Structure 1
């Protein structure tokens, strides 16, 4: 078998493993920024999302996302059938321009699919019914995410425009898709008990483990080597190395930008804001990581870091209780990263910026509408929120009947 094809495929499988590893990072981050009494619940949700996401992607998601739009198609919806079936050239260099095999293609893309629901998991933590969240995840990961993904990555209408919408690794297709749903879910659920005082001021609810939160962010940063590096779709030395450099510089700049800006505003060295700044930089660079020069990526990261500080405060002013800052990080910085493609780097220009705006608007409308429909239906039939007693005493006890730390429970 062709040596280059093999090298490309091995790199893509390594990147698949790194993206899978990100789910541990999400898990650590979410439990770290929330209270001990809900740890098992959050871990359960994250494990469920990975498992059900892969199964749904195999059943229908992959063929919804890559339906093979016919010439003259509107490029809004297509479906290539249920299940997985390798094409005749699926294991040869003739498949995917010699980048990887059909099976690698499925697995790498499947790892992305579950991430959208994971973003929502953090935003609704500590008060959402587990069964209701699982039903929402099934529909959002199984249908909404792949249909939205087909519009660009599947060759749909956003890719057919005269100046195609561009999203290299998912600032919009993954992060904003999850972020829009998180926004709807947080609004419909309402804030946690005790989060906002009667006068409208914020009463902080600190997480129980900043070491876990820090470990989660560093794992996510490592996983982004696969998230962005694998999105080159080959082991091309120039593009993969540039992509990893821009990714890391944006992450570092996002972290520094966030903690410095937060320090100027509040006179405190806030670790949680530092951590969210790193994630903001990563989300911000993801749409154009292969297009940016190092200085561009640093500027994108700094702006993302400042934005996340402003966005966290703004979300709180709206009394939208987001325990992990998912809306600020994934939605706001996902939009910023998408628009940054039209401002910085190789594709910058008025036409590209307009295309990026069209893409942002299209995904906003689709995700807001579909998330609202799914969550409204779930709320009407099953209910979305746990009882006051369950929330106060903790979901681990009421939903799972177990303690995350056993005899070592922290007081």
Structure 2
């Protein structure tokens, strides 16, 4: 809204009105505003949640400091959503298709998580919404994003190609003059980093392009569900999901800025996506919201984000990566989320297998999701081959996960130069 207001004021030569034309200015403003909303209005929302007795339901699993969290207000993800959406509405170009999709994804995942939290709190049901309904919601969002990217004429890309300069005979990077509509994405470790999903459907002949978009939509659905559920499982320690998401948000913001600038994308030999640079404003609001939420969510937490926040964070990260054509970098960038996912799946599968074969179920990890494995104190070890260890303090576990997230973010950028 402010963008359009100051754009209108430009014709009257109002001092400073042109500042809103710059992505960097609006992004910085969005970050500051989201921080302010999360910290100032966050306190009021927490007080309101306490009055409503919206407290976390905690099961005693024998973890250090676990029962102390009982009754801590949950559904704090409302703070994150508010701190993201308000700056975007005020400072973003609301006619930009990328911004529209990100706002839809934020509200969609937030509503899905809110329903889950409401069932838990209102019915005192720790399980919350049934998993199949969550999957339906995630599949729905994946379809909305995938189909919009396929059908919208505003979502195009510009391929980066290597050509030989006829004068110097040096290899230089150029972008085609005409934008194209293609189901292409960025893939690490290959020349030019471009991969077209129609490679899987070459056998369809003239329908290969349409087939490629179908594959792309299926990948979109999978990424949204996997990352959203991974972030949900990661939300088990004070500040863990929030801090790791903030690190991922910074990495995505940088990739978005580089890919949305034709000069930088040419220099780095990466795909140029016209008009996607507007998402830098959204990413700045996302970073500010998560960092601001840490003001209350850091150990010891005064509020939990609940599924309202965790499902929303995962959905945002997934959709953002898809829109800037970096979804195939997610396995590296969001490896902490996937490890949380895999630890649960491996644990359940191994337990069922050993119980069926030996009559007694055995575990690989002391407890899942993975972060709880490091919380189990000495003596609570089932497998003989596991050595008893002392429980690691919760803040130290969170800090180590954050350091790993930073390392993975750096590694993600490194892959763009390995070909």
TM-score (norm 1): 0.27
Q: Tell me which structure has the larger Cα radius of gyration.
A: 2
TM-score by length of 2: 0.27
